A and B are shown apart, each in its own frame.
Chain A
Amino acid sequence: MKRSELTEFAVEEEGFKLKIRRGHNGTPVVTSNGGPPPSASAESAASPAPAPASPAVASGDDKEEPGITFIKSPMVGTFYRSPSPESPPFVEANAKVSENTVVCIIEAMKIMNEIQAEAKGTILDILIENGQPVEYGQRLFRIKQA
Chain B
Amino acid sequence: MIQKILIANRGEIALRIIRACRELGIKTLAIYSEADVQSLHVQLADEAICIGSAKSGDSYLRADRIISAAEIADVDAIHPGYGFLSENSKFAEQCESCKIRFIGPKSQTIKIMGDKSVARQTVAKAGVPTVPGSDGPVDSESEAIKVARKIGYPIIIKAVAGGGGRGMRIAHNDVSFAKEYHVAGAEAEKAFNNGSVYIEKYIQNPRHIEFQILADAYGNVVHLGERDCSVQRRHQKLIEESPSPFLTSDLRKKMGKAAVRAAAAAEYENAGTIEFIVDSKGEFFFIEMNTRIQVEHPVTEEVTGIDLIKEQIRIASGEKLNLDQKDIEFRGHAIECRINAEDPARGFTPSPGTIGLYYAPGGHGVRVDSHVYSGYTIPPYYDSLIGKLITHGDNRKMALERMYRALSEYLIRGIKTTIPLHKAILSDPVFIAGKATTAYLEEFLSRTPPDLF
Listed in ascending order, the chain A residues whose CB lies under 8 Å from chain B are 1-4, 6, 8, 16, 18, 31-32, 35-36, 38-43, 46, 48-49, 51, 54, 56-57, 75-78, 108-109, 133, 135-138
Contacts and interface: CB of A to CB of B under 8 A. Distances in A.
Contacts of B374: 36, 38
Contacts of B360: 40-41
Nearest to A39: B373
Contacts of B361: 41
Highest count of chain A CB atoms <10 Å: which of B59, B72, B73: B72
Given A4-B45, A51-B42, A109-B98, 10 more contacts: A2-B47, A40-B372, A41-B368, A42-B362, A48-B44, A77-B72, A78-B72, A108-B64, A136-B51, A136-B59
B65 interface: yes
B67 A109 contact: yes
Given A18-B38, A41-B360, A76-B51, A32 B375 contact: yes
Contacts of A1: 47-49, 72-73
9 contacts: A2-B50, A4-B42, A4-B48, A6-B44, A31-B38, A46-B44, A77-B68, A109-B68, A136-B52
Interface string B373-392: 11110000000000000000
A1 B32 CA distance: 12
A7 to B, nearest CB: 11
B442 interface: no
Given A4-B48, A133-B72, A49 B43 contact: yes
Given A133-B72, A135-B69, A54 B48 contact: yes
Interface in B9-54: 19, 34, 37-38, 40, 42-53
Contacts of A51: 42-43
B50 A54 contact: yes
Contacts of A135: 49-51, 69
Interface of B: 19, 34, 37-38, 40, 42-53, 59, 64-65, 67-69, 71-73, 98, 358-362, 368, 370, 372-376
Nearest to A8: B44
Contacts of A57: 34, 37, 50
Contacts of B375: 32, 35, 38
Contacts of A3: 46-47
B95 to A, nearest CB: 12
A76 B47 CA distance: 14
A35 to B, nearest CB: 7
Sort A-B residue pairs by CB-CB distance and give the 10 closest, nearest first.
Answer: A38-B373, A133-B72, A48-B43, A76-B68, A108-B68, A40-B360, A135-B50, A135-B49, A76-B65, A41-B360
A106 B266 CA distance: 41
Given A40-B358, A108-B64, A76 B46 contact: no
Contacts of A42: 362
A136 B65 contact: yes
Contacts of B45: 4
Contacts of A35: 375
A75 B40 CA distance: 23
Given A108-B64, A109-B67, A135-B69, A76 B43 contact: no
A29 to B, nearest CB: 9
Given A38-B375, A40-B368, A77-B72, A137 B34 contact: yes
A40 B73 contact: no
B17 to A, nearest CB: 13
Given A40-B368, A77-B72, A109-B68, A56 B50 contact: yes
Nearest to A58: B37
A37 to B, nearest CB: 8
Contacts of B65: 75-76, 108, 136
Contacts of B37: 54, 57
B370 A40 contact: yes
B49 A76 contact: yes
B49 A48 contact: no
A50 B59 CA distance: 24
B69 A4 contact: no
A35 B373 CA distance: 12
Nearest to B59: A136
A54 B34 CA distance: 11
A4 B46 contact: yes
A57 B48 CA distance: 12
Given A40-B358, A40-B370, A76 B69 contact: yes
A18 B42 CA distance: 13
A4 B44 contact: yes
Contacts of A78: 72
Nearest to B19: A46
A53 to B, nearest CB: 10
Contacts of B44: 4, 6, 8, 46, 48
A48 B41 CA distance: 9
Nearest to A38: B373
Given A49-B43, A76-B69, A109-B64, A41 B362 contact: yes
Contacts of B38: 16, 18, 31
A2 B46 contact: no
Given A76-B65, A76-B72, A38 B376 contact: yes
A138 B359 CA distance: 35
